[in-house]
Every structure is written in C-alpha cells, then in structure tokens.
Amino acid sequence: MATTALPGRGYLEDDTPTVWSWVKAWLLTVDHKRIAILYLLSINFFFLLGGLAATVVRIELVTPQGDLLSSDLYNRAFTLHGIIMVFFFLIPVIPAVLGNFLVPLMIGARDLAFPRLNLLSWYLYMAGGIFALSAAVFGGVDTGWTFYTPFSSTYANSNVILTIAGAFIMGFSSIATGLNFIVTIHTMRAPGMTWFRLPLFIWASYATSLIIVLATPVVGITLLLLAIERLWGVGIFDPALGGDPVLFQHLFWFYSHPAVYIMILPGFGVISELIATFSRRRIFGYEFIAFSSMAIALLGFLVWGHHMFVSSQSVYAGLVFSFITMLVAIPSAIKVFNWTATLYKGSISYRTPMLYALGFIGLFVIGGLTGIFLGVVAIDIHVTDTYFVVAHFHYVMVGGTIMAYLGGLHFWWPKMTGRMYNEVWGGISALVIFVGFNMTFFPQFVLGYLGMPRRYHVYPQEFQVLHVLSSSGATVLAIGFIVPIIYLMFSLWKGKPAGNNPWEATGLEWQVSSPPPTHNFTRIPVVTSEAYAFPPEAAERDAASWRPGSPL
C-alpha cells in the first residue's frame, strides 16, 4: 500500500492573516473539498432543523386529542419537516457532501470540472434554504411537501410562494452538482481509470447525476406553473377552467419519484465502498452492482404513477405502473445479494462505518420489501396515504440514506479532517440509531395497516399505544443522532491523527495525505488495477494478524 505522504499543504490549512481573509478564503473557495465542508455544515444544520420539526410532530402524536398544537401549527410542523428533510437534506446530502469531496479524489482529478459552478451551487442551496426558512418564520406553510393542487394553488393561505421559490432555487443547486459530476466523471478520469475500474460510489454518483439532470427541471417547471397559478389567480391546474389538478401530481411525481433514487442511489454507492473495505476483499459482482444502479436510474423514470393509484388514474395506467414498480425491486435485490456475498470468506471488522453499512442492509431490505406491498395496487389502495407509507419511506430514506450518509461520514471523516473519532462511541451511537429507528418506524407499519391516515393531528383512541411506542423510539433515535455530533466535534481537537489510510482501504483517495492537499494530486496518478483490488490473500492476512485487543 503506497502511503507516502505527498508534498503539498492540507486543504484545511490557511496562512490568512486576518479573520476576514480567512472567511473570504472559505466563502469564496473553489476547492471541491472546502465546498464539501461548507455543505457538510449547512446540510447538517438543516437536518437538525428538520429533526426539530419531527420532534414537535412526534410529541404532539403522543396523545390522540391534539392538545399540544393547534391543527394549523401541526400541519405547518409536518410540512416543514418534509420540505427541509426532502429538499434540503436527503436530496443533496450524499452528493453534495461526500460526492463533492470524493468524486475528484476517487477518479484522480484535481477538482470538479467546473469549480466555480460548484461554489455557485452551494450559494444556491443556501439561498433556497433561506427562502424556505423565511417562509417558516413568516408563518409557515401548510401544504405538505407535495404541494398538491388545488389546495396549494387556491386554498392554502400560507407562504406557498416563498417555499416554492426555495425548492425551485435548490433545484438549480442540484442541477449544478449533477452536471458537474457527469462532466467530471466523463472527462477527468486519471489515465488508466476506465469505466470498469471506477469505484462503485462513482457509478452510483453518475447514475444519480443523470437522474438529477433529467428530472429536476421538470419539478422546476411544475413549481413555476404552481407559482404562476397562485400569483395570477388563474392556472393550468384549475378545474374550474377545465384544467386537471391531477396533472400536477403527474408532473410532480415525474420528478419526485426519481428523486427518491437521487436520495438512495448514492447511499448504495457508499455501502459498496464500506462492505468491500471492511471485508477486505473485492466486491462481489462489481458489474452487476454498477449496472443495477443504471437500471434503477432508468426504471425510476417509469414508475411515478404508483404514487397515484387512488387519484382517479385509469385501471390500465395503474396496472402498467404497478408492473414496472415490481421490476424496480429486482436491481435493488441484486445489490443486496451481492453485498451479502461479499461478506463470504472476507475478514470482517465491526468498525463504526461497517456497523452502519450492516444496519443499512437490514433496514433497506425492510424498506424495499414494503415497497413491493405498495406496488401491488390492491394493497396500495388500502395502505396508501396511511402510516404504512410513512413507515416505508422512512425505512428507505432514514434507514437507507441517513445510515449510508453516517457510515460514509465516519468512513471518510479521517480523510476529511485528518483525525480519528472515538470508535467506542461510534459503535454505540450506530447501535442506538438502529434500535431507535426500528422502535420509531416499525409500529407505523402496523398503524398504517390498521388504517391510521397520515398527516392526522387528531386520531382515534385505539391508535394511541402504537403512537406512544413510535414517539418513545423517536426519543432514542434523537439521542442516537446527537451523540455523533458531539464525539465527531470532539475528535477535531482530541482525535488522534489518522494517517493517510487508517482503514487500509484501496482507492485513490487513500493515497493522498489526510487531509488531502489543496490540489489533491501533485502528479496525476496512473491507474493500473480494478477497484477494491485487495490482493487475494488480503483477508487471510488480515485475519491472521488479529490478536486479542486489536480492533474488532
């Protein structure tokens, strides 16, 4: 393993004489790694805000009478939770934080193709966030994150326009990132870095970027049409004019279903990296994992109608969408099986990132399987718009994306900061999150099948037990999310230096110093081997070197 420290100053270091020039050096940086850090801070800030809204919702639901909040406040709380989590956390989180940091490093490039566009994307993200937050400050918005017409266009008296503006601007930020990744991956791979030598995280990021570029403009125009309807007073979704309010749903889900894959595909990429590294062997079925990402990206565009099985869609449309939805299950299953097979004959260590990765598989399997329930129209009719759906997408989004994000963050934290975090606390918090998560969301499957509709502020008495269970799980989950913030921050001061490659992983990012120098590579590396090229005996050697007292 080449671990020679390369000359060049770490990207975090500055020789700025004044505070002001230091601030400028960060806020006007075009270094993809610094932009990733800017994103890390801002996205986590939004995550905490969204989490706060979720906390309010969960506390309210402890009692069935709706006695903590007024119904308007409750509606604003869950809308805020949805909008922040979807648009300002889940969609950007892995691409903008981990992707920004890793894509150039992993393919052997000095930066993304358009560094200034990259910085612009962060400013757009912040601008979008400020719009969405100002909407919340000036009284909130109560349409739900889905903005269904005609409620959002005509009937809601809340800050719909401000919120839409936020989501719209945020869309440009996504597009800028996606476009940057596509161009970078196409044109800036190091010599010898062929497509089939790319780390799977790059494949996943590439598939994600394709979705972003193709789908985001559609939600852009949809939100624009909605804004016009609100401002102008007449609109193309207005049933009074012969317009079709359901057309909005078609356009909205044409983006928002692929957006689900924008959230989860990068997560798949992260998990592939983690499983290979901590099994100390090459990933099983590399090509199948790579192509399944592309298959998901493609099929993801053909299933939007499964959000609308009860929206007065025709029977034929329902059947077609249901059929294609069943097909999406296959590439996801292929990934899970290949990850499992990678464990076979590996030398597995239970480091924090690996715990997250294993947790991811468990939760994602449940999320994916319940997705099949929802894809079967006859069952969907009963469970759609109930807590069953809520539980399902939280299993995919929180159990999938957030577990992958946290796993990835722990895995690359030493690379990003040059410091190791406390492994014991890392393991504990991963377990707490796993347990808390299941406590929160598993009861919601039962609630949903019992018929508890979502977005309900007041609910019948018989659902209380399960709601209380769910809320108590949320408490555990909240603790699980707060602990990493503390020990990760702490590691910045007290963590022991990480060295270039603390996990003995493969990949170009581990060959540069930690933290990496400003321009990544002094000389562009030439790649001569495949991804995860652990020598055949790596697993055996790793196991043989284990002594009591070595990390588990």
CB of 251 to another protein, least distance (A): 6
| Closer residue to another protein (CB): 226 or 488 | 226
| Closer residue to another protein (CB): 111 or 488 | 111
The Cα 505–Cα 203 span in angstroms is: 18
Q: For residue 489, give both structure tokens.
A: 């921050």
| Closer residue to another protein (CB): 439 or 488 | 439
Please state, in angstroms and as integers, the Cα–Cα distance from residue 314 to each residue in 311, 377, 508, following that order. Answer: 9, 12, 51
| Closer residue to another protein (CB): 232 or 493 | 232
Query: Angle 414-476-364 (CA atoms, 0-180°, nearest 5)?
Result: 65
| Closer residue to another protein (CB): 405 or 510 | 510
| Closer residue to another protein (CB): 48 or 450 | 450
| Closer residue to another protein (CB): 488 or 527 | 527
- Which single residue is written with the structure tokens 């030398």? 347
CB of 263 to another protein, least distance (A): 19
CB of 394 to another protein, least distance (A): 16
| Closer residue to another protein (CB): 292 or 514 | 292
Closest CA to 263 of 290, 288, 289, 297: 297
CB of 532 to another protein, least distance (A): 9
CB of 365 to another protein, least distance (A): 5
Closest CA to 260 of 138, 122, 87: 87
Chain mean position to CA 259: 10
Cis peptide before 353 (omega within 30 of 0): no
Closest CA to 379 of 333, 322, 330, 453: 322
| Closer residue to another protein (CB): 199 or 495 | 199
Closest CA to 92 of 53, 72, 118, 63: 118
Residue 514 · residue 414 · CB < 8 Å: yes
CB of 79 to another protein, least distance (A): 9
| Closer residue to another protein (CB): 77 or 179 | 179
CA dihedral for 433, 439, 440, 442, sign (positive or negative): positive
How many other CB atoms sit within 10 Å of the CB of residue 112? 26
Query: Angle 311-314-318 (CA atoms, 0-180°, nearest 5)?
Result: 80
Chain mean position to CA 120: 21
Chain mean position to CA 118: 19
Q: For residue 12, give both structure tokens.
A: 């975090």
Residue 319 · residue 355 · CB < 8 Å: no
Chain mean position to CA 423: 24
CB of 102 to another protein, least distance (A): 15
CB of 427 to another protein, least distance (A): 14
CB of 99 to another protein, least distance (A): 16
CB of 494 to another protein, least distance (A): 27
Chain mean position to CA 520: 25
